[in-house]
Amino acid sequence: MGKLTEGLKIAAYVAEIVMASAVVIELVGKCGGKVKTKAASVETGAGEAAETE
């Protein structure tokens, strides 16, 4: 019975690590999307400024 409890605790720790890493990956994906959007708007703004001159 003791080994079963130890196994369940280890499984719970592994599941917690997997869930935490999934959350981190999701946050990085959201932040990466914002950075790409900002870069695209900056490039667009620079292109318009060059055309008006």
User: Rounded to whole angstroms, how far apart are CA atoms 38 and 40?
Assistant: 5
What is the end-to-end Cα distance of the chain in Å, rounded? Answer: 79
User: Rounded to whole angstroms, how far apart are CA atoms 44 and 36?
Assistant: 12
∠ Cα 27 32 38 (to 5°): 130
41: Cα separation from own chain's centroid: 21
User: Rounded to whole angstroms, how far apart are CA atoms 44 and 50?
Assistant: 10
Q: What predicted TM-score, i.e. pTM, was given to this entire model? A: 0.51
pLDDT in tens, the chain (53 residues): 889 999 999 999 999 999 999 999 998 888 876 655 455 555 555 555 555 44
